[in-house]
Chain A
Amino acid sequence: KNEVEQSPQNLTAQEGEFITINCSYSVGISALHWLQQHPGGGIVSLFMLSSGKKKHGRLIATINIQEKHSSLHITASHPRDSAVYICAVRSGSQGNLIFGKGTKLSVKP
């Protein structure tokens, strides 16, 4: 079983829809990252969080440490949000980042 599982693997939405991408992990963590990989391949960091909730524009990331689960929400989705969204966790025991396989999001106009 992978230590970081993302769901769904693929997601197609219509412009304007509210989107949720989930990340579950099986290890104790000290940090969780959400990253965005553009169709051209570049990777951008969206959030780094260890508790609670963070918001940036139309993006909201939440984490529930007890349930070992994080969600990335996109409000009022737009075709430019089409990308692969990657969850990564840092194990609490001095480990490196462990990455999920990503969720491929396609937003149709």
Chain B
Amino acid sequence: NAGVTQTPKFQVLKTGQSMTLQCAQDMNHEYMSWYRQDPGMGLRLIHYSVGAGITDQGEVPNGYNVSRSTTEDFPLRLLSAAPSQTSVYFCASSPGTSGSAWTDTQYFGPGTRLTVL
């Protein structure tokens, strides 16, 4: 299994541009989530999904959209990039065997380092 994969690894955008960060998992996990990691702060949840067709907002959702059309894929869209969105983005998945996204082992992707100029 490849586990959780993310593309691209690095990206530089100009303010106002849009882009999609890709996330895929091949473990048939129900739950997927997107986090951002900023210096001096803990990981913060952006959006999450408890299954195909179901998404919900996390702690810092503004400026981001998500969709979950398949179990495998959970793309994160930046609508109009801003310098405040410069961060490292992690996608994670969990199997859902415990009935909750948050009481299962979390599997993380390798991260995408995004810089917005």
| Residues of chain A at the chain B interface (Cβ within 8 Å) | 2, 4, 30-31, 33, 35, 41-45, 48, 50, 86, 88, 90, 95-102
Question: Chain A nearest CB: distance from B48 CB in Å?
Answer: 7
How long is the Cα–Cα vector from A96 to B107 in the complex, in angstroms? Answer: 15
Residue B2 is within 8 A (CB to CB) of chain A in the complex: no
Residue B110 is within 8 A (CB to CB) of chain A in the complex: yes
Bitwise, B101-113 to A at CB < 8 A (1) or not (0) is: 1111111101101
Stretch at the interface among B12-20, B22-30, B36-44, B67-75: B36-44
Question: Chain A nearest CB: distance from B37 CB in Å?
Answer: 9
Knowing that A48-B103, A90-B102, A96-B45 are A-B contacts, what are 8 other residue pairs whose CB atoms are under 8 Å apart, sorted by A's residue number? A30-B103, A31-B103, A35-B108, A41-B113, A48-B105, A96-B101, A97-B45, A100-B42
Residues of A close to B41: CB separation below 8 A = 101
Task: Judge whether B102 and A96 touch: CB under 8 Å.
Answer: yes
Residue B80 is within 8 A (CB to CB) of chain A in the complex: no
Enumerate the 6 nearest inter-chain pairs by beta-carbon distance, A residue then B residue, closest first: A99-B42, A90-B102, A43-B108, A31-B103, A99-B43, A45-B105
How long is the Cα–Cα vector from A96 to B34 in the complex, in angstroms? Answer: 12
Task: Judge whether B105 and A43 touch: CB under 8 Å.
Answer: no
- Among A43, A99, A101, chain B packs the most CB atoms within 10 A around the CB of A43
> Please, which residue of chain B has its CB at the minimum distance from the CB of A43?
B108
Name 26 A/B residue pairs within 8 A (Cβ), A-sorted.
A30-B102, A30-B103, A33-B106, A35-B108, A41-B88, A41-B110, A42-B111, A43-B92, A45-B105, A45-B106, A45-B107, A48-B104, A48-B105, A90-B100, A90-B103, A95-B102, A96-B101, A96-B102, A97-B43, A97-B102, A99-B42, A99-B43, A100-B42, A101-B40, A101-B41, A102-B42
> Please, which residue of chain A has its CB at the minimum distance from the CB of B106?
A45
> Please, which residue of chain B has its CB at the minimum distance from the CB of A41?
B111
- Among B45, B106, B107, B111, chain A packs the most CB atoms within 10 A around the CB of B106
